[in-house]
Structure 1
């Protein structure tokens, strides 16, 4: 790509962030034919303007780091579609863990239209939504309440998970990297989701399209460990080969039907 003037490069980065995607420093340096240090300076300027939040290795749109009430309003229709598709995987009397997150909350809402299930969650709003149906059994993990995420956090959450074996874990993805797999924003969340891997027989990841390519500092699951992702539209083309080689099954709506990019569920 021809090297752009600084102002044009900043505008191009800002436009990419407005699509809801995260950006990586190395990828931007290659794309714009500049050094990684130049990209870092660009991100500092854009962060001062309130257009992004810097994370390890890149940046994410401000909306991804916003408190939960703000995130609930973002891509709400898309999240509702994901919730409906993911909820269809639930079986009667199943023992399910649902992580915190706006997309996970959409799954919980959709579960009220399905069979009775038992759920453990670290998100009080999910417990409230499921109890509104008056047919599900809901357990909260305990822990310290984090307003920004609308979730219970800390060692009590990990201890509660460690005592159980779940039929299914429905896990909200922070970001999906085409090479490294699922990524997280903190070491604690990496531990949290890795523990769910160990304590569940099947894992269903839910992620709207903005999560594909989003940056994160820690890897919680390699591509070969993902199994199934439920999303609202096909992932970018650069994910196709890695997903195929790793046996990742992607479920998304297409013409009122579910289209599976890859039928191999990698044993999940």
Structure 2
């Protein structure tokens, strides 16, 4: 079998099984693990999978530039956003992460809903300008252009003074073994810190993020209190989330 044929079969297996292990692939194709690791390196270099220790996971499409991501699974994001808005109650303090799904969510806020929004996203803050009942607190820091959010020591120091009811967290991948992931090391740390400041963390998962992974772990699936999805989950994922006491909407 040619290397190109083997790599295509690896991608097919990954699509079906949501993860692959180098040792199992070595046995399946009757080649050395070195050959399999080389295949995985080359596929990862092409952006077709995410390498992890011992194998690989499906790569998330949500690590593309912001302008590209705005048009990825837009109907999925809008459907999830409609459910997310219903979780916000009058008078709450709500942390809103940057990202394309939260951008859709704020468009759907009721005009008379009064709450306090805390965000480290300039674009989210600007999107709330037309909601006079929403008090907006902007957390400053160094601008991370990929996600249009602030990061850094000043940002982390500021959020330490906030106790929120809800945190709407943006992620690029949700996977049963990799957990919640994103494409930037520093941003992963910021998301963990924001989750620690909220009573409940809500993760909105559009289709391209489910069963995929990015390079940097935010945390275990149990970091989320609630997952909002627009498609039924596979049985093993649903069982795992129930075991970890994560509510699925």
State whether TM-score is above 0.5.
Answer: yes
Structure 1 residues 56 and 141: alpha-carbon distance in aligned structure 2, compared to 1, 3 A threshold:
farther
State the match for 1:249 in structure 2. 247
> Deviation at 1:137?
1.7
State the match for 1:168 in structure 2. 166
Structure 1 residues 36 and 220: alpha-carbon distance in aligned structure 2, compared to 1, 3 A threshold:
farther
Among 48, 52, 59, the residue aligned to 2:48: 52
State the match for 2:87 in structure 1. 89
State the match for 1:42 in structure 2. 39
> Deviation at 1:24?
4.5
State the match for 2:123 in structure 1. 125
Structure 1 residues 47 and 245: alpha-carbon distance in aligned structure 2, compared to 1, 3 A threshold:
closer
Cα separation, 2, equivalents of 1:146 and 1:52: 25
Q: Deviations over 1:108-163 (max 9, x none)?
A: 22225561221111111111111133332212211112222222222222122111
State the match for 2:74 in structure 1. 76
Q: SS at the partner of 1:96?
A: strand
Contact 2:77 2:101 in 1 (8 A): yes
Structure 1 residues 42 and 132: alpha-carbon distance in aligned structure 2, compared to 1, 3 A threshold:
farther
The answer to which of 7-16 and 146-155 deviates more is 7-16
Contact 2:166 2:199 in 1 (8 A): yes
Q: Deviations over 1:33-57 (max 9, x none)?
A: 2565444423443455x45375555
Contact 2:13 2:20 in 1 (8 A): no
Structure 1 residues 192 and 16: alpha-carbon distance in aligned structure 2, compared to 1, 3 A threshold:
farther
Cα separation, 1, equivalents of 2:242 and 2:60: 32
State the match for 1:259 in structure 2. none
Give unmatched runs, 5+ long, in structure 2.
Answer: none
Give unmatched runs, 5+ long, in structure 1.
Answer: 252-268
Aligned length: 244
Q: Deviations over 1:58-107 (max 9, x none)?
A: 46657432211101110011001111111110011211101112122222
Contact 2:7 2:43 in 1 (8 A): yes
Residue 11 (1) aligns with residue 8 (2):
yes
The TM-score with structure 1 as length reference comes to 0.77
